[in-house]
């Protein structure tokens, strides 16, 4: 269902291969909201290391993690958010009085140069090296995203740099997520999910996952049903379209709906404990003051703008108010 694309065809290929990659990237995002990318430039050693750092951080006592706790508010998340702080289910149903609890905790960071919303960093001796590693990973994720935007500009027939210029300086967040082990009985209760069905609100997201499983994407031929994306190894990068790209293209590219639930191989089992899971997401977002209303190229008399004028930061704050309410 989700196509696998080779980014090296775009970064080192001739004009024909670059066009081929660009067209296949757009087609994958239009058809399913997702693609898998190989040869993206992040080697296995580094990706193994980010999962090692993630385990080091989350295995600390809660008191240590709370030393860099995120301060909840209508702003980008910075630092540690504890288990079940966010209510992602509200993104789908903002009116529900009993939102589904997300059984996860996460650590978020932005650009090292972001003076408006500065990062928080753990100070324990065991985590020396955590900060420079994550800052570099954030920069490398940005570079990959800008390359993918260049490809989308080609396939969408847009002026060169027209998407990229709306993303510099970008407001990307790098999120390390830990899903603690949980009883399958609790997951089946209807009260709890690892993360409820949702779309990301940025332009695109780069996702890496461990071998636990549980990630599922919506089957657009059967809305409301989900297909598992089985993990192969930590080098496999999953890319999904976000709300901002959907808005810019006036719905030509629809944001990919996804969730994390019981791993496929465990769904028929009873009275078991689902093992912990880790993922790493680079949530690439537009420059904060740029408009995320539909671009003029996608608005016509027969296809009027489907989304209102709004800045990227205004939309971000709107979403944050739902997540933490």
What pLDDT does 98 receive?
Answer: 53
What pLDDT does 324 receive?
Answer: 61
Residue 264 has pLDDT above 90, yes or no: yes
- Give residue-wise pLDDT tens across range 41-90: 999 999 999 999 999 999 999 999 999 999 988 789 999 999 877 666 55
Contact 277, 264 (CB under 8 A): no
Give the separation between CA 115 and CA 307, rounded to whole angstroms. Answer: 30
Sign of CA dihedral 316, 321, 322, 325: positive
- Give residue-wise pLDDT tens across range 35-49: 999 999 999 999 999
Give the separation between CA 292 and CA 166, rounded to whole angstroms. Answer: 9
User: Within 13 Å, how many C-alpha atoms sit on residue 137's CB side?
Assistant: 31
Mind giving me the DSSP string for 90-158?
Answer: GGT-TT-SSPPEE--EEEEE--TT-SSS-------GGGTTHHHHHHHHHHHHHHHHHHHHHHHHHHHTP
- Give residue-wise pLDDT tens across range 135-177: 999 999 999 999 999 999 999 999 999 999 999 987 999 999 9
The mean pLDDT of 11-27, rounded to a whole number, is 98
Mind giving me the DSSP string for 9-66?
Answer: HHHSS-HHHHHHHHHHHHHHHHHTSEEEEES-S--HHHHHHHHHHHHHHHTS-HHHHG
Give the separation between CA 208 and CA 231, rounded to whole angstroms. Answer: 9
Instruction: Tell me the domain boundaries of the chain.
Output: 4-323
Q: Using DSSP, how many helices (H) and how many strands (E) does the chain show?
A: 8, 16
3-state SS assignment for residue 217: strand
> What average pLDDT does the chain have?
92
**Which region holds residue 76: left if phi is over 0, alpha if psi is between -120 and 50, else beta?**
beta
Give the separation between CA 187 and CA 238, rounded to whole angstroms. Answer: 24
**DSSP-assigned beta bridge partners for residue 193:** 102
CATH fit for domain 4-323, picks 2.60.120.330, 1.20.120.1630, 2.60.110.10, 1.10.3470.10: 2.60.120.330
- Give residue-wise pLDDT tens across range 76-128: 999 999 987 766 655 655 555 456 788 999 999 999 999 999 999 999 999 99
Residue 4 has pLDDT above 90, yes or no: yes
What pLDDT does 106 receive?
Answer: 97
Give the separation between CA 211 and CA 252, rounded to whole angstroms. Answer: 33
């Amino acid at each position: 269902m989700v196509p696998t694309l080779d980014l090296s065809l775009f970064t080192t290929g001739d004009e024909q291969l670059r066009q081929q990659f660009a067209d296949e990237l757009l087609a994958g995002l239009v058809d399913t909201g997702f693609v898998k990318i190989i040869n993206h430039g992040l080697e296995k050693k580094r990706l193994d290391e980010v999962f090692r750092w993630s385990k080091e951080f989350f295995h600390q006592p809660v008191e240590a993690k709370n030393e860099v706790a995120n301060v909840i508010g209508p702003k980008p998340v910075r630092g540690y958010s504890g288990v079940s702080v966010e209510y992602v289910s509200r993104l789908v149903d903002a009116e529900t009085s009993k939102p589904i609890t997300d059984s996860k905790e996460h650590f978020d960071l932005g650009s090292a140069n972001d003076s408006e919303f500065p990062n928080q960093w753990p100070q324990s001796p065991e985590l020396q090296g955590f900060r420079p590693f994550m800052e570099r990973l954030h920069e490398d994720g940005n570079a990959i995203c800008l390359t993918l935007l260049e490809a989308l500009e080609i396939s969408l027939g847009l002026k060169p740099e027209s998407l990229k210029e709306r993303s510099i300086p970008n407001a990307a967040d790098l999120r390390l997520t830990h899903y603690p082990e949980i009883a399958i009985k609790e997951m089946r209760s209807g009260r709890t999910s690892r993360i409820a069905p949702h779309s990301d609100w940025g332009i695109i997201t780069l996702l890496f996952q461990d071998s636990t499983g549980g990630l599922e994407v919506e089957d657009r031929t059967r809305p409301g049903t989900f297909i598992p994306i089985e993990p192969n190894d930590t080098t496999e990068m999953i890319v999904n379209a976000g709300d901002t790209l959907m808005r810019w293209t006036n719905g030509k590219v629809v944001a990919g709906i996804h969730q994390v639930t019981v791993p496929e191989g465990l769904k028929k089992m009873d009275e078991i404990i689902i093992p912990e899971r880790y993922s790493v997401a680079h949530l690439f977002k537009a420059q904060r003051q740029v408009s995320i209303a539909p671009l003029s190229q996608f608005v016509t008399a027969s296809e009027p703008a489907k989304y209102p004028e709004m800045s990227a930061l205004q939309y971000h704050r709107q979403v944050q108010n739902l997540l933490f309410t």
